[in-house]
């Protein structure tokens, strides 16, 4: 397909329910997960006439916090507006939102393009509004039901510039935003639970048309997973391409995503754009945001994913993919750092030259990380790593790593020790002692094992004498196997060398 001729232009609109205790304009509990219908409701969030809204200050703070984290300008003066439309899930007949003066304007989030290069996606604005109620249509009945638990839950909307060009970039943007919101504790940003909702605007235009006319825009809604975001965009690019190249016309419409068929489908043709008749919300005063408030909010922003990535790569000598595991799993990342700080102390206490110390530390970082990411996560068998539930203390884990590093236990024994540690929380030295896993360093004992191995492997001995260095390693492996991984490799190697050379 000559897709080179056409360039996709993609923008996202993302809604997130904020982590506040109460709703946006009343004191009802903000609990989108409440199963009992209409439990958290009052006259304000049910839109009774004559009620007055009071804006939730915490929600405003969370939106500003998000804006500061992604480099938006926070407007000095902001206001709420009424967005007027009729729908049964909106009892007031309007939604309180923000029109021309949102809390945050501009900003950016970086993603990786298909070649792995960093690409900046600009953010247009971040504003605050209220969620709607939820409709249910019981099967086989002639009526619908309204649940107001969700009505007026604070909802943040973030709109991007149309800088996205591929399905992967769309997914990455949503994923990175999700991570940032979780780091900030602004929102759970769970797509499956509807706490984060992604809408895609997508059109195709001729790549190097001089007038840069954009194609007809199609909207994809109700995407409830990151996979759905990526899949629907990829599908839609191909679909629009086929229509255009077949001589057809793209219709301006809203499409949904069929998870089973993996295709988008038409939901609603947009014949005219709705006029929402926005006007300033008369029941809420406009907002002045002073520098003092901004300073306080800024002080609450901790380390964000992007800076954590850079720091982990630099300080701990880890590969990109490994760093990403720690950035996404904050508990595991924090545990890793605690263990590393123990290891750093351990290295410092040893009398070595500066450059060797640095080298040792880098080795320990990688070793520690390998055991955490492959062995510990492997032993958890898909269960999430939760620091509070993990029985091994970072101190004990660090000690375990030094034992491997010092070759006091082989990798085979290490696996057994680790399993017992995770099960019981015991420290490694105790596990080794209790289970009789201690290393055999006794020369007499090792002499016997080495002699046995030499007897049984005459060919390898001959090969070694003919100059095959691999045979030596093979024989060491045999010694470790016979001793069930317990032979001290250094002592065993020395004995083996002596015996071979003297024969
Ligand atoms: Zn209420």
Per-residue pLDDT reduced to its tens digit, 388-427 = 999 999 999 999 999 999 888 888 889 999 999 999 999 9
Whole domain around residue 482: which residue ranges?
A: 443-502
Q: Tell me how far the alpha carbon of residue 65 lies from the centroid of ligand 1, in angstroms.
A: 25
**Residue 144 shares a structural domain with residue 130:** yes
Q: Tell me how far the alpha carbon of residue 281 lies from the centroid of ligand 1, in angstroms.
A: 18
Per-residue pLDDT tens digits for 243-261: 998 988 999 999 999 999 9
Q: Tell me how far the alpha carbon of residue 144 lies from the centroid of ligand 1, in angstroms.
A: 22
Label residue 2 by pLDDT band (50, 70, 90). Answer: very low
**Residue 104 shares a structural domain with residue 149:** yes
Q: Is the dihedral of CA 160, 162, 163, 169 positive or negative?
A: positive
Give one word for 147, left, alpha or beta, with left for phi > 0 and alpha for psi -120 to 50.
beta
Q: Tell me how far the alpha carbon of residue 150 lies from the centroid of ligand 1, in angstroms.
A: 10
pLDDT over 70 for what percent of the chain? 97
**Residue 286 shares a structural domain with residue 319:** no
**The pair of three-digit structure tokens given for residue 270, joined into one six-digit string:** 């947009």
**Residue 278 shares a structural domain with residue 416:** no
Q: Which residues have a Cβ under 8 Å from the Cβ of 384 and sit 6 or more positions away?
A: 329, 331
Q: What is the pLDDT of residue 1?
A: 42
Q: Tell me how far the alpha carbon of residue 18 lies from the centroid of ligand 1, in angstroms.
A: 16
Q: Tell me how far the alpha carbon of residue 151 lies from the centroid of ligand 1, in angstroms.
A: 8
Between 209 and 445, name the one with better pLDDT: 445
* Rounded-to-integer distance, Cα 217 and Cα 177, Å: 24
**Residue 294 shares a structural domain with residue 339:** no
Q: Tell me how far the alpha carbon of residue 180 lies from the centroid of ligand 1, in angstroms.
A: 29
Q: Is residue 459's pLDDT more than 60? A: yes
Under 8 Å between Cβ of 28 and 41: yes
Under 8 Å between Cβ of 193 and 33: yes
Q: Tell me how far the alpha carbon of residue 76 lies from the centroid of ligand 1, in angstroms.
A: 29
Q: What is the pLDDT of residue 94?
A: 96
**Planar angle of CA 274, 97, 20, nearest 5 degrees:** 140
**Residue 289 shares a structural domain with residue 320:** no
Q: Which of 434, 453, 476 is the last residue of a domain?
A: 434
Strand ranges (DSSP E) for 344-387?
none
Q: Tell me how far the alpha carbon of residue 45 lies from the centroid of ligand 1, in angstroms.
A: 4
Per-residue pLDDT tens digits for 135-165: 999 999 999 999 999 999 999 999 999 999 9
Q: Tell me how far the alpha carbon of residue 177 lies from the centroid of ligand 1, in angstroms.
A: 29
**Planar angle of CA 198, 201, 202, nearest 5 degrees:** 130
* Rounded-to-integer distance, Cα 203 and Cα 408, Å: 62
* Rounded-to-integer distance, Cα 349 and Cα 328, Å: 33
Q: Tell me how far the alpha carbon of residue 53 lies from the centroid of ligand 1, in angstroms.
A: 9
Under 8 Å between Cβ of 23 and 45: yes
Burial of 463: CB neighbours in 10 Å, binned 0-12, 13-18, 19+: middle
**The pair of three-digit structure tokens given for residue 259, joined into one six-digit string:** 């998870």
Q: Tell me how far the alpha carbon of residue 285 lies from the centroid of ligand 1, in angstroms.
A: 20
Q: Tell me how far the alpha carbon of residue 66 lies from the centroid of ligand 1, in angstroms.
A: 25
Q: Tell me how far the alpha carbon of residue 12 lies from the centroid of ligand 1, in angstroms.
A: 30
Q: Tell me how far the alpha carbon of residue 31 lies from the centroid of ligand 1, in angstroms.
A: 11
Q: Which of 434, 457, 489 is the last residue of a domain?
A: 434
Question: Residue 128: which of 90, 107, 98, 88 has the closest Cα?
Answer: 98
* Rounded-to-integer distance, Cα 402 and Cα 382, Å: 27
CATH number at residue 479: 1.10.10.410
Q: Which of 257, 273, 299 is the last residue of a domain?
A: 299
Q: Tell me how far the alpha carbon of residue 139 lies from the centroid of ligand 1, in angstroms.
A: 29
Length of the chain: 503
Q: Tell me how far the alpha carbon of residue 41 lies from the centroid of ligand 1, in angstroms.
A: 4
Q: Tell me how far the alpha carbon of residue 25 lies from the centroid of ligand 1, in angstroms.
A: 7
Q: How many CB atoms lie within 10 A of CB 142?
A: 5
Q: Tell me how far the alpha carbon of residue 23 lies from the centroid of ligand 1, in angstroms.
A: 7
**Residue 116 shares a structural domain with residue 218:** yes
Per-residue pLDDT tens digits for 435-452: 888 888 788 888 888 888
Q: What is the pLDDT of residue 210?
A: 63
Q: Tell me how far the alpha carbon of residue 39 lies from the centroid of ligand 1, in angstroms.
A: 10
3-state secondary structure of 362: helix
**Residue 333 shares a structural domain with residue 461:** no
Question: Residue 96: which of 62, 146, 145, 59 has the closest Cα?
Answer: 59
* Rounded-to-integer distance, Cα 19 and Cα 154, Å: 8
Q: Tell me how far the alpha carbon of residue 133 lies from the centroid of ligand 1, in angstroms.
A: 11
Any bridge partners for residue 258, and if so which?
A: 263
**Residue 394 shares a structural domain with residue 483:** no
**Residue 46 shares a structural domain with residue 63:** yes
What φ, ψ does residue 345 adopt, rounded to 5°? -65, -40
* Rounded-to-integer distance, Cα 130 and Cα 39, Å: 18
Q: Tell me how far the alpha carbon of residue 90 lies from the centroid of ligand 1, in angstroms.
A: 13
Between 116 and 364, name the one with better pLDDT: 364
Q: Tell me how far the alpha carbon of residue 338 lies from the centroid of ligand 1, in angstroms.
A: 44
Q: Tell me how far the alpha carbon of residue 192 lies from the centroid of ligand 1, in angstroms.
A: 25
* Rounded-to-integer distance, Cα 496 and Cα 492, Å: 6
Mean pLDDT for all residues in the chain: 92
* Protein residues with C-beta less than 5 angstroms from the ion ligand 1: 26, 28, 42, 44-45
**Residue 9 shares a structural domain with residue 105:** yes
Q: Tell me how far the alpha carbon of residue 67 lies from the centroid of ligand 1, in angstroms.
A: 27
**Residue 32 shares a structural domain with residue 167:** yes
Among 230-234, 269-273, 361-365, 480-484, the least confident range: 269-273
Q: Tell me how far the alpha carbon of residue 44 lies from the centroid of ligand 1, in angstroms.
A: 5
Q: Tell me how far the alpha carbon of residue 30 lies from the centroid of ligand 1, in angstroms.
A: 9
Between 287 and 28, name the one with better pLDDT: 28
Q: Tell me how far the alpha carbon of residue 341 lies from the centroid of ligand 1, in angstroms.
A: 48
Q: How many CB atoms lie within 10 A of CB 469?
A: 9
Under 8 Å between Cβ of 332 and 326: yes
Number of domains the chain is built from: 3
Q: Tell me how far the alpha carbon of residue 29 lies from the centroid of ligand 1, in angstroms.
A: 8
Q: Is residue 309's pLDDT more than 70? A: yes
Among 116-120, 204-208, 315-319, 446-450, the least confident range: 204-208
């Amino acid at each position: 397909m000559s897709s080179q001729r056409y360039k996709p232009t993609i923008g996202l609109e993302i809604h997130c329910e904020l982590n506040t205790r109460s709703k946006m304009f009343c004191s009802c509990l903000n609990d989108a997960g409440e199963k009992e219908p209409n439990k958290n409701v009052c006259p304000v969030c049910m839109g009774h006439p004559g009620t007055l809204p009071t804006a939730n200050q915490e929600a405003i703070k969370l939106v500003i916090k998000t804006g500061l984290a992604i480099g938006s300008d926070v407007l000095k003066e902001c206001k709420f507006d009424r967005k007027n439309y009729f729908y049964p899930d909106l009892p007031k007949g309007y939604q309180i939102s923000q029109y021309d003066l949102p809390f945050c304007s501009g900003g950016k989030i970086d993603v990786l393009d298909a070649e792995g290069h960093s690409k900046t996606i600009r953010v247009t604005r971040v504003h605050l509004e209220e969620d709607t109620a939820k409709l249910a249509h019981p099967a086989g009945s002639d009526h619908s039901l309204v649940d107001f638990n969700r009505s007026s839950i604070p909802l943040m909307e973030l709109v991007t510039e149309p800088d996205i060009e591929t399905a992967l970039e769309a997914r990455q943007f949503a994923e990175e935003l999700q991570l940032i919101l979780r780091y900030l504790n602004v929102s759970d940003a769970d797509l499956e639970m509807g706490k984060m909702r992604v809408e895609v605007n997508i059109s195709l235009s001729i790549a190097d048309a001089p007038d840069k006319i954009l194609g007809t825009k199609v909207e994809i809604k109700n995407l409830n997973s990151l996979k759905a975001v990526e899949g629907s965009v990829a599908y839609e690019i191909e679909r629009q391409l086929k229509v255009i190249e077949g001589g057809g016309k793209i219709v301006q419409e809203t499409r949904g995503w069929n998870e089973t068929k993996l295709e988008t489908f038409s939901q609603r043709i947009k014949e005219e754009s709705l006029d929402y008749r926005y006007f300033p919300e008369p029941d809420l005063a406009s907002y002045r945001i002073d520098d003092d408030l901004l300073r306080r909010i800024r002080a609450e922003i901790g380390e964000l994913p992007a800076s954590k990535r850079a720091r982990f790569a630099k300080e701990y000598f880890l590969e990109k993919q490994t760093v990403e595991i720690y950035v996404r799993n904050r508990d595991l990342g924090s545990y890793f750092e605690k263990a590393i700080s123990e290891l750093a102390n351990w290295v410092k206490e040893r009398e070595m030259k500066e450059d060797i110390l640095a080298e040792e530390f880098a080795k320990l970082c990688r070793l520690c990380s390998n055991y955490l990411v492959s062995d510990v996560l492997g032993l958890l068998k898909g269960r999430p790593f939760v620091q509070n539930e993990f029985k091994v203390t970072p101190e004990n884990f660090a000690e375990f790593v030094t034992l491997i590093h010092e070759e006091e236990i082989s990798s085979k024994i290490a696996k057994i020790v680790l399993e017992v540690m995770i099960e019981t929380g015991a420290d490694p030295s105790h596990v080794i002692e209790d289970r009789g896993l201690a290393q055999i360093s006794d020369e007499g004992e090792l002499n016997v094992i080495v002699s046995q191995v030499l007897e049984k492997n005459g060919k390898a001995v001959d090969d070694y004498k003919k100059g095959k260095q691999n045979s030596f390693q093979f024989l060491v492996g045999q010694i470790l196997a016979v001793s069930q991984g317990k032979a001290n490799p250094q002592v065993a190697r020395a004995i083996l060398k002596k015996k071979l050379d003297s024969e």
